[in-house]
Amino acid sequence: MFEILAHRTYRHLFAAQVIALIGTGLATVALGLLAFDLAGENAGLVLGTALAIKMIAYVGIAPIAAAFAESLPRRSMLVTLDIVRAGVALALPFVSQIWEVYVLIFLLQAASAAFTPTFQATIPDVLPEEKDYTKALSLSRLAYDLENLISPMLAAALLTVISFHALFAGTVVGFIASAVLVATVILPRHPSPKRRSIYDRTFRGLRIYLATPRLRGLLAVNAAVAASASMVFVNTVVIVQAEFGLKQSAVALALTGFGLGSMLAALVLPRLLDKLQDRSVMLGGIGLMIIGMFLGILAVSQASLMVLWFILGLGYSTAQTPSGRLLRRSSHPEDRPALFAAQFALSHACWLLFYPLAGWFGTHYGMPLTFAVLGSAGALCILIALRVWPTKDPEVIEHEHTTLPTEHAHTQSGITTKDGVRHAHLYVIDDYHPNWPHLGG
């Protein structure tokens, strides 16, 4: 897996991702302390609102940002967005009102909603070989999991010698370092897109996404992941401290179990995906998460919860990591930013649904019923995925054009029929192929 770091451009981009992630992790800790400083016992409400603002920005901004950025040089765009994020982080220590926190969080997350899909869409161009790209996806997943472990520990160490306000300086440094690393590489030139209206550019990624069967299956997988993992991210502290009566350190230990499971899956996935189809691997990961959710009804101790969270982490990474392969396979290079933005928005819309649902059920009906409800929601998502994502999912599809003239450049190599022209090639949704052909089962 790590041999792809010999690729200079990817190595710089990966380093930029890791440094920015650590900076963001420091900001997460500092933001919680800032909320308590401003709101005291109402800090939870402030953080909950900030999380909602983050998700709304992700869902609403990503497709619009992709539309406006379609014709911009990617490197310049990524560097500019990193500088914007650094500027917002620099302003956070100086806020004195809660509404100022909300405004800055929206600006920060809006910049991230533009940055992240564009960054993700760039990696397939840098690593065009699928085997290399698969390793990059696993490394990226590993980076996210390590950040979840390292950033809190680093923040705790720094807080022994500095105030929490200074943690935001680490975030600023992270974003600036990310910008510098991105600026040092030459990114592949992507084809100039056809001139389209803002409306068309905004919704193009969503149209491609929803018209592609494997991506409709991916949306169901996203929903199942959110249904199961929201239990971990929302209710771990409640289960550990309120249900089991344990200390805060036990919360960190439980979340470590989830992270270890996710990292193990990320390390194994490149070899697994060499042997199995993405569909089988991803649905298997979701199946593992659903089993874990129903086993959660029986969790009565810290040890059993750690094992359970390890299982959920294993399924979480297995189900999520290959998604970039599906997006790469389902789009032309010039459409990738729009399609990655659609995935970014739709996946976070799933989290926006299940985050509050996990909290509401946990508060009003207890953890066993919450496990059962969210597990059932995940199981329903699996059934939908099995229905909309066909087992037969070839990349090259024979199809017929009935509206293009026989002399059209796209159909020159085809066979003329009584209804039009028939030919076969790598099939993705685009201007010439607005619908997915029926494959007969």
Q: Is 208 exposed, middle or buried (0-12, 13-18, 19+ CB in 10 A)?
A: buried
- Tally the C-alpha atoms within 13 A of residue 1's C-alpha that lie toward its C-beta: 22
User: Would you state the pLDDT for residue 390?
Assistant: 92
User: Which distant-in-sequence residues (6+ apart) come within 8 Å of 159 by Cβ?
Assistant: 167
- Predicted pLDDT at 70: 66
Q: Where in the chain is the domain with CATH 1.20.1250.20?
A: 1-188, 203-393
Q: pTM for this structure?
A: 0.85
Q: Tell me, which fold does domain 1-188 have in CATH?
A: Growth Hormone; Chain: A; (1.20.1250)
- From first to last of its 441 residues, what are the pLDDT tens digits of the chain? 677 888 898 899 889 988 888 888 788 778 767 777 777 766 666 766 777 788 888 888 888 877 776 667 888 888 999 999 999 999 988 888 888 888 888 888 888 888 888 888 888 888 888 888 888 888 888 887 777 667 766 776 777 777 778 888 888 999 999 999 999 988 877 665 666 666 677 788 899 999 999 999 999 999 999 999 988 888 888 888 777 887 766 777 788 888 889 889 988 998 999 899 999 999 999 999 999 999 999 887 888 999 999 999 999 999 999 999 999 999 888 888 888 889 988 998 999 888 888 888 888 888 899 999 999 999 999 999 999 999 988 888 888 888 877 778 787 778 888 878 888 888 899 888 888 887 654
The phi, psi pair for 106, rounded to 5°, reads -60, -45
SS3 call for 393: coil
Q: Are residues 349 and 262 in contact, defined by beta-carbon separation less than 8 angstroms?
A: no
The domain 203-393 is placed in CATH, from the list 3.40.50.300, 1.20.1250.20, 1.10.3720.10, 1.10.1060.10, at 1.20.1250.20
**64-88 burial: b if 16+ Cβ within 10 Å, else e:** bbbbebbeeebeebbbbbbebbbbb
Residues 6 or more apart in contact with residue 147 via CB below 8 angstroms: 18, 21, 22, 24, 25
- 299, exposed or middle or buried, with CB in 10 Å at 0-12, 13-18, 19+? buried
In terms of DSSP H, where are the helices of 212-277?
213-237, 248-275
The H or E element spanning position 123 is helix 98-126
